Structure 1
Amino acid sequence: MFAISRHFIKLNQLSISFSHHHYHSQSQHKTILPNLNFSLYEQKLQQREVLETKLISLLNGCNNINQIKQLHSHLIRKGLDQCSFVLAKLIRILTKLNVSIDSYPRLIFNQVRYPNAFLYTSVIRGYSLLGPFDEAILIYSRMRWDGIRPVSFTFSALFKACAAKLDVELGRQIHAQTFFIGGYESDLFVGNTLIDMYVKCGFLDCGRCVFDEMPERDVISWTSLIVAYAKNGDMNVAGELFEGLPEKDMVAWTAMITGYVQNAKPKEALKMFEMMRDAGVRTDEVALVGGISACAQLVAEKHAQWILDVADKEGLSPVKNVVVGSAFIDMYSKCGRVEEAYRVFESMKEKNVYSYSSMIVGFAMHGKADEAMKLFYEMVETETKPNRVTFIGVLTACSHAGMVQQGRRLFASMQKDYGVVPEADHYACMVDLLGRAGHLEEALELAETMPLEPHGGVWGALLGACRLHGNPDIAEIAAKHLFELEPNSIGNYILLSNIYALAGRMEDVSRIRKLVRGKGLKKNPGCSWVEAKDGNIHEFYAGEMTHPKSNEIKKELEKLLDTLKREGYKPNLSSIVYDISDGEKECLLKTHSEKLALSFGLLTTTAGSPIKIVKNLRVCEDCHLVMCGASRITKREIVLRDNMRFHHFRDGVCSCGDFW
């Protein structure tokens, strides 16, 4: 069915049983000894076995190549230079020490006249782990040519090589060998590595077929597929597999928690974390980070306190564990509590590039540029080398504070002083910095001359700057690229339409609206959520009034809007691109999810306390205007996190400076 690889030499022809030459060569080991004292012979065999066992034990304790060479010379002196059993172990230890298989290990193998299946497999395994992967296939071909029957570990090593090469066709041919040779198609270990190979090559359905046909499965079989469906975004199937898992270990639980987090299902992740704890399964740092990340997505501080208690009980407190500590810094920053994030940072006994970067990014997303820059230079003084995320943080901080010259210097120093090659995300930060400061021509030139292909973030930053400074001409250039890169992202069309509207180019506004209708584009449903006093998360979707308190929410919102109108507020109807009447547009604006969440917060939280809202999309201009006004007339701080950044509304002013 598939073309034979040039390295896969006549596999079907080589699958014959041991050749005449092999039997002849193997028989050379059997010398007829008619006059040998059998008890003496048996005693020597026992001595040899004791020596082999001792050498194996010594090899297990080797941690450098010099020790291995000393043992190798010893076994040569003892006449064990042809002992496949010991040499196989020696090659496995060399592989563990990352010694190139083409060098010392291959020389050892080539000097053995009659290698057995285990010695062949040790070499195949070495190549499958360290490369070159094609050599693993060549050694297998030689093994079959010599008539040596593979063992289960031979196939598992070959499937690892195919997975590393992402060569599914070669993997299928070797899969066929497990049937042709016989006895391996039902082997548990072979089946597990076969599933892994198909999954890594992107053939999840084939991996599932192998799983379904396995007569015996273990937790690795189940977990491999669960992880694959999490990564593939199919949490329903992953959940079904998880429910069918007879014995759920920590890895399986953690895979589900991580899968839910990665697929933006934080509620389900927290529920799974709670079930894991109820089941009495030990929680490691990976599961904890998953739970913390879910809290960050939900802005669920009360749940975060519970997870902090769990971390302390498991001996993984953020003070002691740098991975958990970095996750808590990120979580508190995303929950709007950057001061608490810094408290965690300060308390950590060990700090690394990840903890520093998390804190710098946290300061940046909250507009605290001075704090971010101070921490960056403190990090450099401790000789902690910055990474790509560190520079995204400091460049973002410069952008939000209008620190153009400092941003330019940092960008220029990335590769020169720190060895960090600028990526598209860093160029996006620079375009944002220059555009925000009004240097639109320079920002455009940077986007057009950058040494790698600009992604949507680069052109999106430029388009946003054009809205701030009212430049429809450069906006058209940026939008043209965005329409090619993100043809179905309605937000780019809306932003360009708004720029045209502000410039009075209503014909262009109509053209964009027709383009949107012609493409059949619709906005993703806006969703906002807020945490209630009891820790429950309340979700609100745009246009939906299904909440149990919908009537009270509507009345509270109408009262707020009436007050704002008396003070001069006028709805920004350009936030609605649909061709409907102004009255209908105003009605739609009233049901935007962040307004519903704000109204709920005003109803259910203590007077004077902050209201924290999270939205899955970029906040629209009208809702931003309402939040500013609401913060002034209610004397409350409103913290809104959209998919772009944090907005802190205080006394009618937003921390973003009306650019986001």
Structure 2
Amino acid sequence: MSSIQPLLLRLSKSQPPKFLTNFSHFNQSLSTTSSSPFDTQFNAESPTNLGPYDSTQDPAKITATQLSNCSNLSELNQIYAHILRTQLLDLYPAPFHWNNIIRSYTRRDAPSKALCVYVAMSRAGVLPDSYTLPIILKAVCQLFATEIGRQLHSVAIRLGLESNEYCESGFINLYSKAGEFENAHKVFEQNRERKLGSWNAIIGGLSQGGRAKEAIEMFAELRKCGFLPDDVTLVSVISACGSLGDLGLALQLHKCAFQAKPIEKPDILMLNSLVDMYGKCGRMDLAYKVFSRMEQRNVSSWTSMIVGYAMHGHVDEALECFQCMREAGVMPNHVTFVGVLSACVHGGAVQEGKRYFHTMKNVYGIMPQLQHYGCMVDLLGRAGLFEEAREMIEGMPMKANSVVWGCLMGACEKYGNVKMGEWVAKHLRELEPWNDGVYVVLSNIYASRGLWKEVERVREVMKHRSLAKIPGYSLAASS
């Protein structure tokens, strides 16, 4: 224990991450909070519907029930404050009770507070068990706190928990999300008696990390090793297949999905992934066939159809699908509106695009993100409404990226708009000074207006930039 304890304590020492710098303040503020309803739990009726206090009831069980019934973060803070004030964890130091608190904060999307509780656990001298690590790893992944994840990995090795199915899959997931696929593979390969959870973690990590082909190859390896895929496996593989746009593989995976659950009905997540996959493969007829047979549809089901239609230029179908979604009483999300606005861009539906953009904000309370502004700039630019596009960019609450500027630059080339093209080119050069593409487009804009002196000037700039670059050389020749 003495060899592990310093490592655990390091989580709150030696330049701790920003989300742990307020660790002491967090615990102290809770422990000194004024009396809450939970402080009267032991002599009055419970606020969590536990009924009148029974003097024979274990306080730890009462607290565990409160944690499981907790419905929001404020209530959870009150429960934890009561635990701190009554020093309940000193009386019941088992990891089980700490795990309940950490799990509750993770479920309430408060990963930094979950980590603070873990630090308190380590300071109290309580070692994590096979349940603690998978829970706290979820918090670490939510915060992308890779360095803390590495320390937890060291702790797991010292405690002999690195090969535990849930710990192992947690570390694979951590390294995959951090883009450290080599480390994820090392964790996966070190255990020859790995369970399905570890296979799912590596396949899911590769799929979500943009390594679709590797995810498919790993799935094939899983089958060779005699494992039967479950819903989690298939959703990841189907997603990878959609990224590849391989229709032949898509049909095989669809068959595999129903073979995996011949009696039970596929769940909604599985069916949504099939709809999304067929949409990305360009087969909206097959996507609709899956969609139409679904007994239940959620926002992801409708959004996959809308985005699929929009992606392939089926404007009327996308907008009609959105209308049906609204009539069905399903609330759209920000991804739904990316699909709707993309459909408007493909169809040149300027007025509809403006209306949907305002509907998103004013009716559904969804604040536009960069993708939504990008769609609107693209829509206005393609219609030649340059001043409106400029106002849209200048009114954005965030800085435009190269994609947004690139859309407007393309519109400037289409219409030969010199003044706007020069303005856009200035911003693109600031964002991507290494990119010569902006000079090529600007030269084309000048040429379309017969401004040959400006064309020559741009070509001279490009020539000078080319000479200024460090020339490449062959390693073989230099040796």
How does the TM-score come out when normalised to structure 2? 0.76
Q: Closer, same or farther in 2 for the Cα pair 1:487/1:227, shift >3 Å?
A: farther
- The Cα shift of 1:308 comes to 0.6
How far, CA to CA, are the matches of 1:273 and 1:374 in structure 2?
Answer: 37
Matched, 1:382 2:394: no
How far, CA to CA, are the matches of 1:90 and 1:402 in structure 2?
Answer: 61
Q: Tell me if the contact between 1:415 and 1:421 (Cα under 8 Å) persists in the aligned partners.
A: yes
Partner of 2:372: 426
In structure 2, which of residues 353, 357, 364 is the aligned counterpart of residue 407 of structure 1? 353
**Residue by residue, what CA displacement relative to the aligned partner does 1:66-86 show, whole Å, maximum 9, x if unpaired?**
77432x42x13xxx3xx6xx2
Partner of 2:112: 164
How far, CA to CA, are the matches of 2:396 and 2:334 in structure 1?
Answer: 17
- The Cα shift of 1:226 comes to 1.3
Q: Could you tell me which amino acid in structure 1 is paired with residue 367 of structure 2?
A: V
- The Cα shift of 1:343 comes to 2.4
In structure 1, which of residues 451, 455, 459 is the aligned counterpart of residue 397 of structure 2? 451
Matched, 1:245 2:191: yes
How far, CA to CA, are the matches of 1:194 and 1:320 in structure 2?
Answer: 30
- The Cα shift of 1:249 comes to 2.0
The 5 Å alignment of 1:496-507 reads 496-500=442-446, 502-503=448-449, 504=452, 505-507=455-457
Q: Closer, same or farther in 2 for the Cα pair 1:472/1:284, shift >3 Å?
A: farther
Matched, 1:118 2:92: yes
Q: Closer, same or farther in 2 for the Cα pair 1:173/1:518, shift >3 Å?
A: farther
Q: Tell me if the contact between 1:300 and 1:335 (Cα under 8 Å) persists in the aligned partners.
A: yes
Partner of 1:333: 279
- The Cα shift of 1:358 comes to 0.9
- The Cα shift of 1:350 comes to 1.8
How far, CA to CA, are the matches of 1:393 and 1:318 in structure 2?
Answer: 32
Matched position secondary structure for 1:370 = helix
Q: Closer, same or farther in 2 for the Cα pair 1:491/1:443, shift >3 Å?
A: same
Q: Closer, same or farther in 2 for the Cα pair 1:213/1:368, shift >3 Å?
A: same
The 5 Å alignment of 1:157-556 reads 164-165=112-113, 177=123, 181=125, 184=127, 200-203=144-147, 204-217=149-162, 218-315=164-261, 320-488=266-434, 491-492=437-438, 494-500=440-446, 502-503=448-449, 504=452, 505-512=455-462, 514-515=464-465, 518=468
Q: Could you tell me which amino acid in structure 1 is paired with residue 14 of structure 2?
A: F
Partner of 1:17: none
Partner of 2:59: 87
How far, CA to CA, are the matches of 2:290 and 2:331 in structure 1?
Answer: 21
How far, CA to CA, are the matches of 1:318 and 1:326 in structure 2?
Answer: 16
How far, CA to CA, are the matches of 2:263 and 2:410 in structure 1?
Answer: 41
Q: Could you tell me which amino acid in structure 2 is paired with residue 201 of structure 1?
A: A
Q: Tell me if the contact between 1:227 and 1:238 (Cα under 8 Å) persists in the aligned partners.
A: yes
- The Cα shift of 1:370 comes to 1.0
How far, CA to CA, are the matches of 1:391 and 1:97 in structure 2?
Answer: 35
Q: Could you tell me which amino acid in structure 2 is paired with residue 95 of structure 1?
A: L
How far, CA to CA, are the matches of 1:313 and 1:223 in structure 2?
Answer: 25
How far, CA to CA, are the matches of 1:232 and 1:384 in structure 2?
Answer: 34
Q: Closer, same or farther in 2 for the Cα pair 1:356/1:510, shift >3 Å?
A: farther
Partner of 1:658: none
Partner of 1:98: 70
Q: Closer, same or farther in 2 for the Cα pair 1:521/1:365, shift >3 Å?
A: farther
Gaps of 5+ in 2: 1-12, 28-44, 473-479
How far, CA to CA, are the matches of 2:366 and 2:340 in structure 1?
Answer: 14
Q: Closer, same or farther in 2 for the Cα pair 1:472/1:305, shift >3 Å?
A: same
The 5 Å alignment of 1:579-618 reads none
Moved more, 282-291 or 95-104: 95-104
Q: Tell me if the contact between 1:167 and 1:201 (Cα under 8 Å) persists in the aligned partners.
A: no
Partner of 1:576: none
Q: Tell me if the contact between 1:498 and 1:509 (Cα under 8 Å) persists in the aligned partners.
A: no
**Residue by residue, what CA displacement relative to the aligned partner does 1:224-248 show, whole Å, maximum 9, x if unpaired?**
2211221122222322221112322
Q: Tell me if the contact between 1:329 and 1:355 (Cα under 8 Å) persists in the aligned partners.
A: yes
Matched position secondary structure for 2:332 = coil
- The Cα shift of 1:113 comes to 9.1
How far, CA to CA, are the matches of 1:363 and 1:6 in structure 2?
Answer: 48
- The Cα shift of 1:447 comes to 0.7
The 5 Å alignment of 1:52-71 reads 68-70=49-51
Partner of 2:477: none
Matched position secondary structure for 1:245 = coil
- The Cα shift of 1:411 comes to 1.1
- The Cα shift of 1:437 comes to 1.0
- The Cα shift of 1:202 comes to 2.7
Q: Closer, same or farther in 2 for the Cα pair 1:376/1:65, shift >3 Å?
A: farther
How far, CA to CA, are the matches of 1:123 and 1:319 in structure 2?
Answer: 37
Matched position secondary structure for 1:379 = helix
**Residue by residue, what CA displacement relative to the aligned partner does 1:222-274 show, whole Å, maximum 9, x if unpaired?**
22221122112222232222111232222211111122222322221111112
- The Cα shift of 1:207 comes to 4.1
Q: Closer, same or farther in 2 for the Cα pair 1:484/1:92, shift >3 Å?
A: farther
How far, CA to CA, are the matches of 1:521 and 1:412 in structure 2?
Answer: 51
Q: Tell me if the contact between 2:215 and 2:240 (Cα under 8 Å) persists in the aligned partners.
A: yes
Q: Could you tell me which amino acid in structure 2 is paired with residue 429 of structure 1?
A: C
How far, CA to CA, are the matches of 1:394 and 1:317 in structure 2?
Answer: 37
Q: Could you tell me which amino acid in structure 2 is paired with residue 69 of structure 1?
A: L
Identity %: 31
Q: Which has the larger radius of gyration?
A: 1
How far, CA to CA, are the matches of 2:268 and 2:378 in structure 1?
Answer: 32
Q: Tell me if the contact between 1:162 and 1:171 (Cα under 8 Å) persists in the aligned partners.
A: no
How far, CA to CA, are the matches of 1:507 and 1:283 in structure 2?
Answer: 61
Moved more, 413-422 or 118-127: 118-127
Partner of 1:2: 14
- The Cα shift of 1:457 comes to 2.9
The 5 Å alignment of 1:12-51 reads none
Q: Closer, same or farther in 2 for the Cα pair 1:121/1:454, shift >3 Å?
A: same
Query: Please, what is the CA RMSD of the aligned residues?
Result: 3.9
Q: Closer, same or farther in 2 for the Cα pair 1:442/1:515, shift >3 Å?
A: farther
Q: Tell me if the contact between 2:98 and 2:121 (Cα under 8 Å) persists in the aligned partners.
A: no
Q: Could you tell me which amino acid in structure 1 is paired with residue 376 of structure 2?
A: M
Matched position secondary structure for 1:233 = coil
- The Cα shift of 1:316 comes to 8.2
Paired residues in the alignment total 427
**Residue by residue, what CA displacement relative to the aligned partner does 1:20-68 show, whole Å, maximum 9, x if unpaired?**
xxxxxxxxxxxxxxxxxxxxxxxxxxxxxxxxxxxxxxxxxxxx96774
- The Cα shift of 1:293 comes to 1.9
Q: Could you tell me which amino acid in structure 1 is paired with residue 377 of structure 2?
A: V
How far, CA to CA, are the matches of 2:93 and 2:186 in structure 1?
Answer: 41
How far, CA to CA, are the matches of 1:189 and 1:130 in structure 2?
Answer: 13
- The Cα shift of 1:344 comes to 2.3
Q: Closer, same or farther in 2 for the Cα pair 1:219/1:514, shift >3 Å?
A: farther
